[in-house]
Amino acid sequence: MARNRKSKKGFKRSSSSKPITGKREHTLLKSVSKEEGASTSIQLESLGRPGQLIELHIEALFKSHNKKYIEKQEDINLRSFKIVGFLGKDSGIKGNVSTKLDKNNGCSYMNVSEHHDMIKFSTQMGDVDILKNEKNELIQIIFNCLATSQQEARKIFSNITAPFLDYVSFIGNIPIHINLVSCIDINNNIETISFVSPYKNVLLNIGELSYPIEMHPLYALYRESKNSGSPFYKFLCLYKILEGAYQHLIPAIFKKCKELDINIARYKILVPDIDYQNTVANDLRGESIKTVFDDRFTPEFRNNIAHFLNNDSPLIVSDIITSVGFDTEISLIEECAKEMIRVLNLYYQELPS
C-alpha cells in the first residue's frame, strides 16, 4: 500500500544499476529427427526474457539431408510454407509451448455450429482453414502459401487473417488472440515458432511494503504494462513513466529543494548496460535516457501510437511486422523506466521528512 513520503524506512540504496540480464530472445534448437506429423514441445525453463516476443527455430535433421542450416536460412527460392496460428481467450500461453495439431491446443470465444467441422474461406493467396475443438470453439488457423522466406510467409498469413479477425472481433464484441504462430518451411524442414515468452513464479523478498506516495502512478503504469498483451499499450505505459518523471516529478523535486533551500545529489540517468539482443538498443547503452526519450521513443514510436496517420499512413496494430517492431523496443524502454524509478527513489530518500 502506498504511504505518505514522511516515512521512508522501506528503502535501501541499490548496489548496482544493472538489472539481471535474460537469455537470448532468438534461439536455434536442433532435434535429432522429426517425423512427419510429429509435434514440438518445449519446457518454459528453456525460454528467454519473460513477456517478450521470441522466435524458436527448430530444424528436423535426417541422415539423407546434407544441406547445412545456414544454407537453408539463406534460401531465396519460392517454396511451400505451412502457417498455423493458435488462438486463445486471453493473451499469453499457458504451460509448455506446443504446436501439436489436436483439439485441445487452443481456445477462443468464437463458436460455430456443432454441424460444422471447420470454417474455410478462399483468398487469392490460398485457402484458410479454421479448426474447432470439442466445445465448438475455433482454435487453430491453418494456411498454406508460397514464399521465399518464413518472414514473408508470416507476413502473408498476417495480411490474410488479420482483417478477418479484426472484423469478427468488432461484430462479436469479443477479444481474439493469436498466442502462438508456427511457420513450417516444408522444403527445408525448419519450423519457426513465434510467441510471447510466459512469466514464471518469483519468490518475493520485498521487506516493508511502503514507498513514497508520489511514486504510486509510476508503479501503477509499470504493472499495467506487465498485464497487457499488446506491445503498443506496453510501450505507451512505459513511455508515460518517463514522461511523468521528466515533465512532473523531477521538476517538482528540485522545486521543493529550492523552496527548502537545500542541495541534493544530481544523478545521471543513463540507459542500463545490459545485452538487449538488439543492435540499435545495445548501441544506446550509457546514453542519457532523456536523449533517447526525446530523439527515439517520442518521434519514432509514441507519435505513431498517438496519431491515426503517420506519414499519411495509418498504424495497423494487427499487422505482424508492425507489432514486432514495437515489441523489439519494449526491452529497451522497460529497462529505462526501471532505471528512472530507481533514481527517483534515491531522490525521494534525500528529501527531508
Q: Are residues 191 and 242 both part of a single domain?
A: no
Return the closest-CA partner of residue 107 out of 83, 148, 136, 68: 136
Assess whether 113 and 33 both reside in one domain: yes
Q: How far apart are CA 50 and CA 195, in angstroms?
A: 11
d(CA 141, CA 166): 14
Write down the mean pLDDT value for the chain. 83
Whether 104 and 155 share a structural domain: yes
| Nearest residue to 176 via CA among 216, 130, 217 | 130
What was the pLDDT predicted at 136? 94
Same domain, 309 and 175: no
Residues 71 and 169 in one domain: yes
Residue 16 in domain = no
Which residues of the chain are modeled with pLDDT < 50?
1-36
- Residue 8 within a domain: no
281 and 235 share one domain:
yes
Which of 122, 124, 128 has the alpha carbon at shortest distance from 141? 128
Per the CB < 8 A criterion, the answer to whether 239 and 301 are in contact is yes
DSSP per-residue string spanning 60-110: E--TT----HHHHHT--S-EEEEEEEEEESSSS--SSEE---STTS---S-
Asked whether residue 202 is domain-assigned, the answer is: no
Quote the cell numbers at residue 269: 540517468
Predicted pLDDT at 2: 43
Q: Is 123 in the same domain as 269?
A: no
Q: Are residues 271 and 333 in the same domain?
A: yes
- Residue 5 placed within a domain: no
Answer with the one of 149, 167, 196 that is the final residue of a domain: 196
Instruction: Find, among 181, 192, 127, the residue nearest to 323 by Cα.
Output: 181
Query: What proportion of the chain, given as a percentage, has pLDDT over 70?
Result: 84
Which domain, by its residues, includes 240? 213-350
Kindly list the strands in the beta sheet with 126-132, ordered across the sheet, starting from the edge strand earlier in the chain: 26-31, 53-60, 190-196, 177-185, 79-88, 138-147, 126-132, 118-123
Q: Which residues of 193-214 are buried (b: 16+ CB within 10 A; e: fewer)?
A: bbbbbbeeeeeeeeeeebbbeb
Nearest residue to 229 via CA among 165, 271, 177, 301: 177
203 in a domain, yes or no? no
So what's the pLDDT on residue 208?
66
- Do 230 and 298 lie in one domain? The reply is yes
Residues 184, 81 contacting (CB under 8 angstroms): yes
Q: What is the total count of domains within the chain?
A: 2
